Structure 1
Amino acid sequence: MTPAQLQTGDLVTARGREWIVLGKPGEGLVRVRPLSGSEEDAITFAPTLEAVPMTTASFTLPTAEQRDTQDAARLLADGLRLSLRRGAGPFRSAAHLGVEPRAYQLVPLLMALRQDVKRLLIADDVGIGKTIEAGMILREMMDRGEVDRFTVLCPPHLVEQWVEELATKFDIDAVAVTSARARSLERGLALSESIFTAYLATVVSLDYIKAEGRRAEFARACPSFVIVDEAHSCVGGGEGGTQQRYALLRELADDPARHLLLLTATPHSGDQDAYQRLLGLLDPSLAAPDSGEPWRRRLARHFVQRRRPDIQDGWGEARAFARAQTKELPFELTGAHQAFQEDVLDYCVGVATRADGERARRLAFWGTLALMRCVGSSPAAAASALRNRLGGVAEEAALEPILMDEDEGTFSDTDVEPATALDTEERDALEALIAAADALAAQPDEDPKLRALIREVKALIAKDARPVVFCRFISTAEAVGAALQSEFRKHDVEVVTGRLTPEERRARVEAMGDSPQRILVATDCLSEGINLQMLFDAVIHYDLNWNPTRHQQREGRVDRFGQQSETVWSVMMFGENSMIDGAVIDVITEKAKRIREATGVTVPVPEDSASVTTALMQAMLLRSNSPRAQGAFDFGGAAPAAETAWRDAEEMVKKSRAIFAQNALKPDEVLPEWRRMRALNGGAEEVERFTRRALSRVTQGGIAPEGQHWRVNYGVLPQRLRERLEARGLTGTRAISFADLPPPDVAHVGRVHPLVAMLAETMAEGALDPGGVDGDAPLGRAGAWRTRGVPKLTTVLLLRLRFTLVTSGRRKLLAEEATALAFDVDGEVASGADALALLEADASGNLDPAVIARQVEGARGRVEGYQPVIAAYAEDRARVLREDHDRVKSATRGEGATTEVAPVLPADVIGLYVLVPEAN
């Protein structure tokens, strides 16, 4: 048999087993999956090279020797549906999703389906689910056969998160490509190969790939589908890394056939030129600023941006997010702590007074701000910064980004206390201040800021909250962590800072999942890169951040889609009599709060940050009791200039919201199809029913009720299944729930959760290939029992329907559906869900094995006569599927029907069961 003779969906025999043809990936090649196997077992054949020729095959009917109980029939029916991954509905990806998407998350997918080349900027708010939205588009394109290879480009601290999200939510195994791993990935490759041709799915660090040599190699071998996370960090006007990133994206975007998804929560941060460069990656005609109707219509095809209020109000999705409780927590500086701030500022003023020349005065200005920021954080941070000051001179250009948190989205090395300029006359004064800082740090019980924090943590714990305490600097975080460890000895208190590698940070956080009582202290190295919503539900801002978007990013780690607590808490601490905190609140925090209340958007510090920092210094000095502080710097019109900068930022946000709001698409038309598809493949009820029954069959004590949820023991599962789950990190005992929104510390288990997927595969494979599974006896495929659920002798056929599907002229695809037909002595009784429901009616009594054998053999003889009905049912299902596809296509593209769906006959009879009516 030659490849030309084979069609998608055909059954063939090769290498001693039976296979299903999935498609033809190339000339003379055939992609096949074992008849009794899963998608992981699919391989590619070159039939002409096979020693034993490939031949056609037919699916054998169940026999009396394969008889089993009613429980086995139920298990096989559910297991077959849950194991199928090539769904037949209009959303091909539904069977692969490990998350139940909300209605609003379908909008980017619908937008993508409108485009031949997918080019989108997804700019939804922090925590709304941009990763899910991009992953759904990717998964859909893969399952439609339009994408074979892809890459995700992201900052290095997001690489592991993307790898994990792709695996757990989209059933995609991707390879992480970073500076540390590239060499090992390249080992063993041929000279003509690169990582990006050898591995079909990659998540690549932008910092690794932006270098000139690597950029050229990547551009040459880059896949046709690219996702860029934190895309705003690639288009700024700065030199160095930003410029290299933009050059890479520009080169990729120049290929008109390349799919490109850009993700960012901050598409417009005040830099209009950078914003236009970002839009120009989608379509060169969008690069020129414009607000005319034609330009806006073009942009609307590529741009989606929703804020949290849009989702909660406009879409009625308040349930998708926890209820946010915000609180301000003022504390009062007293005694030595208040005096220390004045002493440090007086020292800085003295340095400024002695400064000779413009450059020296600028360094004094920035050095004062940097030092005072550390002083406001903690005595430990102040001591570290003062010691760093002894070590050398920092340049203005190095200080400003750290002060204003303008670090292109990376936090791996910005939580270190900055060095500041050193005057040769300073040493004695510095050493005295260091001694004072050390003395304050050595008495944490006397620190009013720490005391206020401990009171607040106790209050949150009393509400069953699990808090994350965010600090700006490493020394502060370590001091706070030590104080909390001493105070809360029964809690697991961990500290995560930039001293740890990204892998170490992730491991330390994940290890806390085993501790029901937990408190995390972290710097901003965790404000991006690791989602914390599964472990924590409260954020305490121990330090005021000098860029408002950083507050939003901190809170977004816990207040995001998937948070299981009903309430999340956010607490902002500040010294009500602190000259430092007071200045920040007046110049930055209150201004940003006003804009957020007016527009629903948190804005970063305006692009004209110089006016803001000058106003910040002026406000700080005005709060000082030092008589010489007022004349230390010439501020000119700093306060009015800063106010103007904030007002301009507000106007820009309002204009952007008016132009770019995405209100055109309403997914209500296609949401019913999505829900029908999910129900067809197996919803939450079927998943719970199957998992409990399957675990009860393969092991003793594998699952037990625990309040409103369940506890599963992975350690008692059969060896092969246990080892496969261990490879996915599932060991020991875990609390699980099948509900869409489980309580905190309880894992959601859906149809593609490894436990469900592997159990379903095991059950289905065991029935079709009894020698290929371990543990208890595999499921049989036939049975008979007495029941009051039917009035006449009824035969139920468990079917696997196969279809070929061609959409818009694309390659021919295989689609599968698990269903059932029931026949009584007069003909068909029920189909689909109604037929499957007959297997659920409890048996009223057992039959003698000999009687079961006779009933099964009799039913086998009747199957041939059922074939016309089976074929008609398959044709009808093909028609319904065609209509579903065309409805979705009409909703997204407005085109006529172009979908071709045809059944592959005969259908596979997976199970055969005879229901004998109970005599009254």
Structure 2
Amino acid sequence: MHPGTIVQVRNRYWVLLPHEDPDCYLLRPLTGATDETVAIHKGLADRLAYTLPTERLQPATFPLPTVADLADAAGAHLLWQAARLTLREGATPLRSLGRISIRPRPYQFVPLLMALRLDPLRLLIADDVGVGKTIEALLIARELWDRGEIKRLAVLCPPYLCDQWQRELDEKFNLEAVVVRSGTVGRLERGKPPTRTLYEHYPIQVISIDFVKSERNRHQFLLHAPDLVIVDEAHGATLTYTQSQQQRHDLVRAIAQDERRHLILLTATPHSGIETAFRSLLSLLKPTFGAWDLNNLDETQRAELARHFVQRTRKDIEQDWEHERCFPRRLTADETYRLSPAYRTLFEKTYDFCAEIVRTGAQLEERKRRVRYWGALALLRCVMSSPAAAQAALETRYARQGEGDDEVDFRGFVFEAGEERTDDEQPTAPLEATAATLPEGDRRRLRELGRLAARIIEARQDTKLDGLIRMVEGLLGDGFHPIVWCRYVATADYVAAGLQRHLPADVRVVCITGRQGDAERRARIDEIETDRPRVLVATDCLSEGINLQQKFTAAIHYDLPWNPNRLEQREGRVDRYGQTAPEVKTIRYFSPDNPVDGVVIEVLLDKARQIHRTLGTHVPVPAESESVTEAVLNALFLRGGRATAARQLAFDFAQHDVQALHRRWEQDAERERLNRTRFAQRALKPQEVQRELEATDAVLGDPDAVRAFVLAAAQRLGLHIARDSNRPGVYRIPLEAANLAPLPEPVRFALPAPAPSAARRAPPPWSISFDSPTPEGAAYLGRNHPFVVALARFLLEEALTRPGQAHAARCGVLCTRAVSQTTTLLLVRVRYLIEQPERTPLFAEEVRTLGYTQGADGAPHWLDESATLRLLEAQPDANLVMAEKRRRIEAALAQWGAIVEYLQPQIEARARDLEAAHKRIRQAVHLRTRALTVRPQWPVDLLGILVLEPDGSL
């Protein structure tokens, strides 16, 4: 018995699958899925067979349909749909599409086609922010997994992205991963055998790169590193001066040193402006890339690098690949507020105080001078953020005794960190250190400022909050669901409470900050209902790692970030692939009374916006931006004064630094433009990708086929599904018991449990869609959704095991004007083995519909398969009595034995086409591919038969 054979054991039919162990049988139920496969040791099976006859493994044949299976033609069409949707190992070059639970866009297949032409795979995916690089990388991983080319996979990412990756692997790609980081290692260790490391035992891992980069953990991981490693946020693993990035780079470089290992690097910002850092990233793909002059590549070098590097803007994608808008249109706006008299007093007194302690600190030693400067900036940011943040900062206990010998770098308390998420707690450390350098009189002034902030809160004299409330009301009225971004926890809590007080009761206001763990944050996001207005108030703990585009459509920067990169990260939570709203809105919110806001906007944010509009993508601010901003703010303090003239004088003081920064930024933007022109992968043509997708859809069925099947099956089973009149592309399934009662138990159990509701109230209906990305609030029903799987499997199994009683029919007769002579349609399932030297064969199968008419010589005249599929949907134009239908089916079944012989050339030709397609998609990158063969396995399964008679022939 060889792979592809049908066998019988344990009173059930199975398909014998290839297995890498020659001493084992790998069996899959004939009508089941791969997740139901069982492995049986041959020796054990032989011994059991002597005492338990049901354990005897013996060849079997697929049961042919009989006259008892006769029903209507629509039932035969339903059987074809169900049989096709149960396929997982589809006989197409792109095997992964039978396993995933989303429908990727055509442009997302480009990295996959690039990957399949590399051996080993070394790829840098640097597509624009929000285009779906995670999907692109996991599409490659799933394809290699299903081809048997990898058996273990690891994703290395920052710790705050681990849960997001685990969810993407599970929900979209049906790969079960474990998260490896300091808080999970103990549990994972307990779940493995003592003789194996956790890196050996768990085949799919999402690993915190900061956990595994340490000397303590790195060696064990490298000793058992998997076949494929994906490195997310790869720009954080470049060779730079920081110790953290150096450790990451050393780790990834060690991974890359194994020339057989596959490696995918992901980043939206591969070039930080430091040429050596970029070359160090490229050297991970191929060591020679690190020595190239990237500004003067010859054509051979450019072509070689282009095989490993893809970098596209959204504009490239929409113009070259999609020819339609597939990302939302971003509407940008500025909104301002004026300080109330009380808030103006607080701000002015704080500004004067900060300027004074910076100026008087100029006489101190360098370390104390720097401490005062950072403390002044931290205090000013708190007061600018909200009275609540000011109060929290100013009520700090300034009881610090001494300052230690080393200067603390307080930059991260003021500027948003470039690589990691910013700490959203109050900047206690620089404030305490500053207070320690102040005389008691200045400390009393700090406490008085704190009391001013408290009075603003008590009297509710905060015009910044009042303006936000009006803005949010307007956005909600226009149908937007906003995120309000804040710098500090105290501000977020204060803003959320204010919104909750003033917004209508039906508006859900949710506040998420860094004081909640990653799991709690995700749970709170998941709990947000999409059938009611909603507002999220968040700190930058959410600006990376959690996709919010399915529930929110606007971003308000209540606190302006002092780093444009952070502003883009915030807006990228809603403006990204999967956002179904046609427009998203982003608003910068600031006060013209605040000179510091003015500096940040003039020096950084306006320039970033100008570059984005010109280039169509985000270009990171150059590394020296913090130094330039610091110089400008320092000039503000040193020159003093709050009036416009004084602010302009201070700005002029540092204008030379600003101009130099902007020139450097423009140079970076031009470099990005050239790179994205060179590496947008225009050599791959949309029609090339489309050809492979159409070939796959013909075997597995596209989203339209899934929609047609679900609606037809629901009608047959008596399940009511209605269109949602208010949302195009959305359907609603009532979950009341009366609607679900007709469903068979396996199908009913695949539906979501009704949400709890008040007594005597019907549970809300289940909203579904067959479109991906999916409309807000709807579940995506693709071919791998549990409900679709249960529906297809039930109908196929019922048709094969309950002749005459099944909803889907194996036999049918139709009298129709669609044919001019008797035409027979055969629904057959064909199995193939895809064989390559030194590899376990791959199993594949497809369901084909073949049609023929009987020639005068008795030989079948085969129809074109597209014509056959159209005939499968032919409508009846006359009635036939049951006795006549039975006679026609008996005659067609009697011919099957002779027809099988005529089928062989057709199936062999199909196998040759599949073989050519497999070689084409790999472009014969190695000898194994060139020696690949596709062999059909005999006999084919006759699932069903439909006879079409011309109207008027009887």
- Work out which of the residue numbers 322, 333, 338 in structure 2 matches 1:327: 333
Mapping for residues 32-181 of structure 1, pairs under 5 Å: 32-50=27-45, 51-52=48-49, 53-181=56-184
1:753-802 CA distance string (max 9 Å, x none): 3332332233233334569xxxx956453344544444444432211111
Mapping for residues 395-474 of structure 1, pairs under 5 Å: 397-406=408-417, 408-411=419-422, 413-420=423-430, 421=433, 422-423=435-436, 424=438, 425=440, 426-444=442-460, 446-474=461-489
What letter matches 1:466 in structure 2?
Answer: H
Residue number in structure 1 paired with 2:370: 362
What letter matches 1:448 in structure 2?
Answer: T
Mapping for residues 508-907 of structure 1, pairs under 5 Å: 508-609=524-625, 611-618=627-634, 620-621=636-637, 625=641, 638-659=654-675, 661-664=678-681, 665-670=683-688, 671-698=690-717, 700-701=719-720, 706-707=725-726, 708=728, 709-713=730-734, 716=740, 718-724=744-750, 726=752, 733-740=765-772, 743-769=775-801, 779-806=808-835, 811-826=840-855, 827-828=860-861, 830=863, 832-843=865-876, 852-890=885-923, 898-907=931-940
What letter matches 1:485 in structure 2?
Answer: Q
Q: CA deviation at 1:496?
A: 1.1
What letter matches 1:359 in structure 2?
Answer: R
What letter matches 2:895 in structure 1?
Answer: R
Deviates more, 1:15-24 or 1:365-374: 15-24
Residue number in structure 2 paired with 1:237: 240
Residue number in structure 2 paired with 1:3: none
What letter matches 2:909 in structure 1?
Answer: D
1:872-893 CA distance string (max 9 Å, x none): 2212222322333344344989
1:703-762 CA distance string (max 9 Å, x none): 565453311246736544444555999996332222456543334433233332332233
TM-score after normalising by structure 2: 0.88
Change beyond 3 A, Cα 1:93–1:69:
same
Aligned-partner Cα distance in 2 for 1:834–1:729 = 46
Q: CA deviation at 1:531?
A: 0.9
Aligned-partner Cα distance in 2 for 1:141–1:789 = 44
Aligned-partner Cα distance in 1 for 2:482–2:919 = 49
Residue number in structure 2 paired with 1:340: 346
Residue number in structure 1 paired with 2:284: 281
Residue number in structure 2 paired with 1:217: 220
Q: Secondary structure at the match of 1:37?
A: coil
What letter matches 1:10 in structure 2?
Answer: T
What letter matches 2:310 in structure 1?
Answer: V
CA contact (8 A) 1:541 1:572 kept: yes
Change beyond 3 A, Cα 1:807–1:513:
farther
What letter matches 1:73 in structure 2?
Answer: A
What letter matches 2:663 in structure 1?
Answer: R
Q: Secondary structure at the match of 1:442?
A: helix
Q: CA deviation at 1:135?
A: 1.4
Residue number in structure 1 paired with 2:311: 305
Deviates more, 1:905-914 or 1:490-499: 905-914
Q: Is 2:26 aligned against 1:31? A: yes
Residue number in structure 1 paired with 2:52: none
Q: Secondary structure at the match of 1:125?
A: coil
Aligned-partner Cα distance in 2 for 1:727–1:167 = 20
Aligned-partner Cα distance in 2 for 1:864–1:619 = 93
Residue number in structure 2 paired with 1:483: 498
What letter matches 1:279 in structure 2?
Answer: L
Aligned-partner Cα distance in 2 for 1:562–1:601 = 18
CA contact (8 A) 2:227 2:262 kept: yes
Give structure 1 stretches of 5+ with no counterpart: 1-5
1:71-93 CA distance string (max 9 Å, x none): 43222111111121112222222
Aligned-partner Cα distance in 1 for 2:514–2:838 = 51
Q: CA deviation at 1:581?
A: 0.6
Deviates more, 1:516-525 or 1:168-177: 168-177
- Count of aligned pairs between the two proteins: 907
What letter matches 1:587 in structure 2?
Answer: V
Q: CA deviation at 1:584?
A: 1.0
Q: CA deviation at 1:389?
A: 6.6
Q: CA deviation at 1:624?
A: 5.5
Q: CA deviation at 1:109?
A: 1.5
1:434-459 CA distance string (max 9 Å, x none): 11112223344x32222222222222
Q: CA deviation at 1:115?
A: 0.6
1:220-279 CA distance string (max 9 Å, x none): 222101111111223363555434333322221111111111111111223444333322
Q: Percent identical across equivalent pairs?
A: 38
Q: Secondary structure at the match of 1:804?
A: strand
Aligned-partner Cα distance in 2 for 1:916–1:636 = 89
1:548-573 CA distance string (max 9 Å, x none): 11111111111111211111111111
1:635-692 CA distance string (max 9 Å, x none): 9974423432342243234235435631443233422232232243212321111011
Deviates more, 1:427-436 or 1:415-424: 415-424
Aligned-partner Cα distance in 1 for 2:745–2:382 = 55
Q: Is 2:373 aligned against 1:374? A: no
Aligned-partner Cα distance in 2 for 1:136–1:580 = 46
Change beyond 3 A, Cα 1:432–1:580:
same
CA contact (8 A) 2:311 2:680 kept: no
Deviates more, 1:278-287 or 1:782-791: 782-791
Deviates more, 1:722-731 or 1:583-592: 722-731
TM-score after normalising by structure 1: 0.91
Aligned-partner Cα distance in 1 for 2:324–2:73 = 43
What letter matches 2:712 in structure 1?
Answer: R
CA contact (8 A) 2:636 2:650 kept: no
Deviates more, 1:727-736 or 1:325-334: 727-736
Q: Secondary structure at the match of 1:222?
A: coil
Change beyond 3 A, Cα 1:110–1:831:
same
Aligned CA RMSD, in angstroms, stands at 3.3
Q: Secondary structure at the match of 2:21?
A: coil
Deviates more, 1:835-844 or 1:33-42: 835-844
Q: Secondary structure at the match of 1:522?
A: strand
CA contact (8 A) 1:381 1:417 kept: no
CA contact (8 A) 2:343 2:462 kept: yes
Q: CA deviation at 1:130?
A: 0.6
